[in-house]
């Protein structure tokens, strides 16, 4: 059974039939899944989770799939919440946690959006999906598309990480590279979608990726025994994760599973591509296109997000903030977390530790606040970010004393 009532435009509020294939509203706004939350409240209880599988599909009543026969899953979700016992106190935070998305299928949080998005595409009879990507989303959607028997057409920048390219290729996707940014890839995909009638699964151009990403918010609440943390920091490119987390927490409030407290949401970007940060600093509700975007945190190189107004709304509504981190600082943070905690995380996730350090210095974060860093992927997918000189020994040479 599904508790979905309709799809609603996030910009103008127009309603759409969820049982038809939908993309964007006529006004250009993204469509968002709406549920009969009163019925969910009556039929779904915290106790129901005790015997359910440790995947994101444990929250079935708050997800859009109608029939479980269409479920396309690889066991994603329920990633660990790890207390940073050394890295936290080292920057003056006694309750710093890392939610590590690097251990799920495809090695990134993108699998959350893919499992729900591809499952729903299968249910709606989609045969071919197309998307632009900076790498990880394409890898995830190609992986789940292969499992579902749906063809994937992927376009990514030429300098996207080789590992994510290979993931797309080996799962049978039609992969194309473009000499440009993700915004350029998006224009190519838009033309192909218009010419061939493919289903466009670009960020927020279909309604269901958000539903997968929002399960990060559901899990955070459950992992803290339904007492939400004070702050959640999130690496922000397209921003679907931060939009989804905010949506999840609002839904949990509506069904009475959490109280009125809402975590302060922090959007973290790189100084080489920080349109959301600039808009927040200027107290605007939408961002401007960021020219000459460039950062080693490739996953957040998004010059202009379709859902920027939704990201900014979530920040404003939770008294959060937006902050930009330099590549040098985030790479240093990546090395620090690996050495201090054994957490080899992606550069996007590492930017959060640097941001937390800066926000603590500024007094925006307090020493005893419960702060969550949402790492979006494994560092293993970014070997080029590690620059360590390794000594070479001769066969008769001894190891120096440590």
Kindly tell me the burial class for residue 53, based on how many C-beta atoms sit within 10 Å of its own C-beta (0-12, 13-18, 19 or more): exposed
pLDDT at position 402, please? 82
pLDDT digits (tens, 9 = 90+) for 343-352: 999 999 999 9
pLDDT at position 44, please? 98
Name which of 51-60, 93-102, 240-249, 294-303 the model is least confident about: 294-303
pLDDT at position 161, please? 87
pLDDT at position 368, please? 97
- Check: CB of residue 116 under 8 Å from CB of residue 169: no
387, pLDDT greater than 90: no
Q: Residue 248: what are its φ and ψ, rounded to 5°?
A: -60, -45
Copy the structure tokens of residue 60. Answer: 């079935």
pLDDT at position 72, please? 98
Listed by start position, the domains of the chain span 81-108+209-385
pLDDT at position 84, please? 98
- Check: CB of residue 352 under 8 Å from CB of residue 268: yes
CA gap 250, 242 in Å, rounded:
12
CATH, range 81-108+209-385 = 3.40.50.1100
pLDDT digits (tens, 9 = 90+) for 41-50: 999 999 999 9
pLDDT range class, residue 107, cuts 50, 70, 90: very high
Enumerate the H helices of 171-239 as residue ranges.
182-196, 209-213, 215-223
């Amino acid at each position: 059974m599904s508790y979905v009532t309709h799809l609603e435009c996030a910009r103008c509020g127009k309603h759409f039939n969820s049982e038809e294939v939908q993309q964007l509203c006529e006004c250009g706004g993204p469509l968002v899944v709406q549920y009969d939350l009163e019925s969910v409240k009556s039929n779904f209880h915290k106790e129901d989770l005790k015997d359910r599988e440790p995947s994101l599909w444990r929250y079935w009543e708050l997800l859009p799939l109608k029939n479980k026969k269409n479920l396309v899953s690889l066991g994603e979700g329920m990633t660990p919440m790890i207390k940073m016992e050394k890295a936290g106190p080292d920057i003056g935070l006694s309750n710093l946690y890392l939610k590590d998305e690097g251990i799920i299928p495809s090695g990134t949080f993108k699998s959350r959006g893919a499992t729900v998005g591809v499952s729903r595409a299968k249910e709606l009879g989609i045969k071919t999906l197309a998307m632009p990507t900076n790498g990880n989303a394409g890898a995830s959607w190609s992986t789940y598309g292969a499992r579902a028997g749906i063809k994937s057409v992927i376009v990514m920048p030429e300098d996207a990480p080789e590992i994510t390219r290979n993931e797309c290729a080996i799962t049978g996707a039609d992969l194309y590279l473009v000499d440009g940014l993700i915004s350029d890839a998006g224009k190519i995909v838009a033309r192909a979608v218009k010419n061939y009638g493919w289903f466009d699964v670009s960020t927020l151009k279909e309604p269901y990726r958000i539903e997968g990403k929002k399960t990060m918010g559901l899990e955070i609440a459950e992992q803290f025994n339904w007492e939400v943390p004070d702050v959640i920091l999130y690496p922000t490119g397209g921003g679907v994760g931060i939009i989804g987390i905010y949506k999840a927490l609002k839904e949990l409030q509506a069904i009475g599973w959490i109280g009125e407290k809402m975590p302060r949401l922090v959007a973290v970007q790189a100084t080489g591509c920080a349109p959301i940060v600039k808009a927040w600093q200027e107290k605007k509700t939408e961002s401007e296109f960021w020219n000459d975007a460039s950062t080693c945190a490739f996953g957040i190189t998004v010059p202009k997000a379709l859902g920027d107004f939704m990201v900014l709304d979530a920040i404003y509504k939770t008294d959060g903030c937006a902050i930009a981190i330099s590549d040098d600082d985030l790479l240093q943070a990546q090395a620090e977390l690996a050495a201090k905690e054994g957490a080899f995380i992606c550069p996007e996730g590492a930017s959060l530790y640097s941001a937390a350090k800066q926000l603590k210095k500024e007094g925006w974060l307090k020493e005893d606040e419960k702060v969550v860093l949402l790492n979006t992927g494994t560092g293993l997918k970014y070997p080029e970010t590690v620059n360590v000189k390794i000594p070479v020994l001769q066969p008769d040479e001894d190891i120096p004393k440590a």
